[in-house]
Chains A and B, each alone.
Chain A
């Protein structure tokens, strides 16, 4: 934390309370120009509430205490007119979800002009196009004339950033601005923010749950848990020597390609705000907790200049060991494949009254083998076709062309035409646990429904036993069977979804982005569960994900999709080793926070799907001719030879 006297922003004793419940308490922060404060927390930590409080916004019906001093004046006590003058002009907010933050009925240009007009600034066209070009939106005129829904997610996010920068504010408050964006777009946005930080000396408060992301931009950090600051200090210090048990646990749970050998470890339990007592809120889940911790609230103590932490156990803990944790090498199984796919293709036809000429190929000619006891990861960004692939195998796309065989026997593309036994063997776990469980059925009933379909011959007693052991297998207490889904946490619901798939005794499990909707500390637990299932029960898992760092740890093999085509196939532990397919290289670099060079846009053609965006493309050849597979088990499709690729593309060392 900055000890400078003329801090730009200083928050003292901030507390927000609704009724008898504290949302946040005792928040003290400081910010100087050119500093980026990372506000880290998981769901329920109160980070968004704090971010909004910095703009003088409080939740409905909430009482707010303390002060938020901006250049000496307390924002919380400003009269409405003065507050309006500060908001958007001196302190600007960048929201999490750009799609809902832009008025769908107004054009971008109108929105931007109004933003300027509201603050009494001239809204001439140069200013608007300049602001858009600044964030990397080159076709500024087109964007100004567009409605939000005509732009992609990445473009919307950049528009929102441009809006925030429009009045040249002193402080930017960014609320998870890159959630939901592709890794490559994320890297672009972060790079731009770094430029703002370094060149224009703009101060930022960056709210996120993603510690890994912060390491690329934050100068300072504050770690939140249940509405209180657990630890704060300069970013490098908190990253390299975290002192608070929660910070350490969070770092341990976060997979990162910057620390490729570090295996994510989960945190037990979940945050129960209603059960937090008088003492340290983290006590219930802390492995170092003493009896004193649950009773006595620890105060923030200074451990090193600027580095504070609130914990009773601290002085007793040794400094953390930062040597890498090595995990056993993962080689694939030698068994015969349980699931084979050849030539899978899906074309989405436009529906509705307005028909376009051709359909869009969502998947072209996909082929792979999944062996027993193997975890095969399918990686891609949005639009890659990975969800389509998952749905196709599950049987949700009857219009699928190609061949699918389960255990050597061909199966029909549509689930309706498969035998009951085939349906039982191939189970699907959905991405969003909030939507995949019937809110009107109890957990036990949900499992019973699945059991009835898969093993109708069981007796009532046998069914009850199966449900009980099903819950135990996913580490859920038996009493959860009587609960409704909305009484469980997100992680617990996902475990129920998993249990529902497992109770049918499947041989193949398709996991469609099953971690995306969960907190980081919870993700690792599910990962461990899945690994256990694979080892102990020999279930083959098709793991769909966009997150390379997760995939590296859990999978045996990885296939990478781009625009519906498989462009690389390799062993997971070889992901970081050259030769890299140019697209995989781009993904890896972006995951490490590095922005790769921009390429002039081009229309997709019959050749390599990555050609339009490839930095090492060979004109004419790559656009016109589809590349062939390289040799070997770990292979890729590129016109360049693997040795050439190894020379051209190498991952640089991590930049500070």
Chain B
């Protein structure tokens, strides 16, 4: 029961954090130098038009009131209307979020084996040529900025070896096969970026676990190597790996912006960048909030998964 209480408290904490973040986002879009309205209208705006725009945007009402209106709207599913298109934000948002979720799922599916298998090979062959070679390659890929990597992959697999479409568009009418075909390149790129980053941590963590007393003990008890790795070492080594993956999750719904641009993928990130460039305030608020929400929820999930994998923590009082 203590465990349940802990979980509940953690979830409540997550919600509180989300609220705090939403407040901060709202504040930021309001308080930073340069009024949004005057930015939209450019330099030396006509004061009358400014006042009208302000009233239209609701900028003349007190801050707290506007914030509360916004939050209550969200809880009802209403994110406001786009300043540019006039359409409800929720509609566009929904489609794009779905696209990005699909992309992320595919990317994660590629990422896990891509990170885990080489890490195991490295840990077992520690400091030998194979380990160093994998490290070198991984470091090289890691150092290439993601937009460049995306660009190179684009050239490579569209021009040199035409395997995938130049623009990764998926529409509501696409079949699963078409969607997969369209998403494979950006998903692979994302997976590659995440995997090279996480591989280092997993390798180090595995090496550390393989050197612990309890693994040595199992070895001295006659346990074969394969069992040692998969049943003794991996579960304990996974915990830091999960943490790193959680860190990467923020990348999936935020930093992956650039990759979406390169592949022209109609995802969440592109929506956010577009909104920022055009200062479509309600869209900006909605997208940034969702990016933060993914981070918070993702971390919560990782914390709970850690508890499941590491029973020792369950009984800390």
Could you list which residues of chain A lie within 8 angstroms of chain B, going by C-beta atoms? 52, 55, 57, 83-89, 92-93, 95, 97, 100-105, 107, 114-115, 118-119, 147-150, 163, 350, 352-354, 356
Write out the residue numbers on chain B whose beta carbons fall within 8 Å of the beta carbon of A107: 311
A57 and B220 in contact (CB under 8 A), knowing A100-B212, A101-B214, A103-B214? yes
Q: Determine if B312 is an interface residue (Cβ-Cβ < 8 Å).
A: yes
Q: Are B220 and A88 neighbours in the complex by a CB distance under 8 Å?
A: yes
Write out the residue numbers on chain B whose beta carbons fall within 8 Å of the beta carbon of A86: 222
Write out the residue numbers on chain B whose beta carbons fall within 8 Å of the beta carbon of A84: 222-224
Distance from A5 Cβ to chain B, minimum over Cβ atoms (Å): 29
Q: Are A93 and B9 neighbours in the complex by a CB distance under 8 Å?
A: no
Report the Cα distance A92→B223, complex, angstroms: 12
List 18 additional contacts besides A100-B213, A104-B214, A147-B312; criterion CB under 8 Å.
Answer: A57-B216, A57-B219, A83-B222, A87-B221, A88-B223, A95-B217, A101-B214, A101-B216, A104-B310, A105-B309, A118-B221, A118-B223, A147-B315, A150-B315, A163-B221, A350-B317, A353-B6, A356-B317
Of B214, B227, B310, B315, the contact of A102 (CB 8 Å cutoff): B214
Write out the residue numbers on chain A whose beta carbons fall within 8 Å of the beta carbon of B6: 353-354
Write out the residue numbers on chain A whose beta carbons fall within 8 Å of the beta carbon of B235: 105
Write out the residue numbers on chain A whose beta carbons fall within 8 Å of the beta carbon of B232: 103
Report the Cα distance A114→B223, complex, angstroms: 9
Residue on A nearest B211 in the bound complex, by CB: A60
Q: Are A147 and B311 neighbours in the complex by a CB distance under 8 Å?
A: yes
Q: Are B220 and A118 neighbours in the complex by a CB distance under 8 Å?
A: no
Write out the residue numbers on chain A whose beta carbons fall within 8 Å of the beta carbon of B213: 95, 97, 100-101
Write out the residue numbers on chain B whose beta carbons fall within 8 Å of the beta carbon of A353: 6, 9
- Looking at chain B's contact residues, the main secondary structure is helix
Distance from B104 Cβ to chain A, minimum over Cβ atoms (Å): 29
Residue on A nearest B126 in the bound complex, by CB: A60
Write out the residue numbers on chain A whose beta carbons fall within 8 Å of the beta carbon of B223: 84, 88, 114, 118
Write out the residue numbers on chain A whose beta carbons fall within 8 Å of the beta carbon of B151: none
Of A55, A354, A356, the contact of B220 (CB 8 Å cutoff): A55
Distance from B131 Cβ to chain A, minimum over Cβ atoms (Å): 14
Of A52, A87, A97, chain B has the most CB atoms within 10 Å of the CB of A87
Write out the residue numbers on chain A whose beta carbons fall within 8 Å of the beta carbon of B227: 118
Q: How many pairs of residues, A versus B, come closer than 8 Å at their CB atoms? A: 80
Q: Are B222 and A105 neighbours in the complex by a CB distance under 8 Å?
A: no
Q: Determine if B243 is an interface residue (Cβ-Cβ < 8 Å).
A: no
Q: Are B220 and A149 neighbours in the complex by a CB distance under 8 Å?
A: no
Q: Please, what's the 1-or-0 string for B1-45, where 1 marks a CB less than 8 Å from any CB in chain A?
A: 010011001000000000000000000000000000000000000
Distance from B213 Cβ to chain A, minimum over Cβ atoms (Å): 4
Report the Cα distance A107→B227, complex, angstroms: 17
Q: Are A87 and B220 neighbours in the complex by a CB distance under 8 Å?
A: yes
Q: Determine if B261 is an interface residue (Cβ-Cβ < 8 Å).
A: no
Q: Please, what's the 1-or-0 string for B190-221, where 1 marks a CB less than 8 Å from any CB in chain A?
A: 00000000000000000000001111111111
Report the Cα distance A350→B309, complex, angstroms: 25
Of A87, A95, A350, A354, the contact of B222 (CB 8 Å cutoff): A87
Distance from B306 Cβ to chain A, minimum over Cβ atoms (Å): 11
Q: Determine if B161 is an interface residue (Cβ-Cβ < 8 Å).
A: no
Write out the residue numbers on chain B whose beta carbons fall within 8 Å of the beta carbon of A100: 212-214
Q: Are A103 and B236 neighbours in the complex by a CB distance under 8 Å?
A: yes
Report the Cα distance A352→B9, complex, angstroms: 12
Distance from B211 Cβ to chain A, minimum over Cβ atoms (Å): 9
A105 and B236 in contact (CB under 8 A), knowing A87-B222, A149-B312? yes
Distance from B222 Cβ to chain A, minimum over Cβ atoms (Å): 4
Residue on B nearest A163 in the bound complex, by CB: B221
Q: Are B221 and A115 neighbours in the complex by a CB distance under 8 Å?
A: yes
Q: Determine if B316 is an interface residue (Cβ-Cβ < 8 Å).
A: yes
Report the Cα distance A147→B309, complex, angstroms: 13
Of A88, A105, A147, the contact of B221 (CB 8 Å cutoff): A88
Of A95, A101, A118, the contact of B224 (CB 8 Å cutoff): A118
Report the Cα distance A84→B235, complex, angstroms: 23
Write out the residue numbers on chain B whose beta carbons fall within 8 Å of the beta carbon of A354: 2, 5-6, 317
Residue on B nearest A103 in the bound complex, by CB: B214
A-B contact pairs, 12 of them (CB 8 A): A55-B220, A84-B223, A95-B217, A101-B214, A101-B217, A105-B236, A105-B311, A118-B221, A119-B222, A350-B317, A354-B6, A354-B317
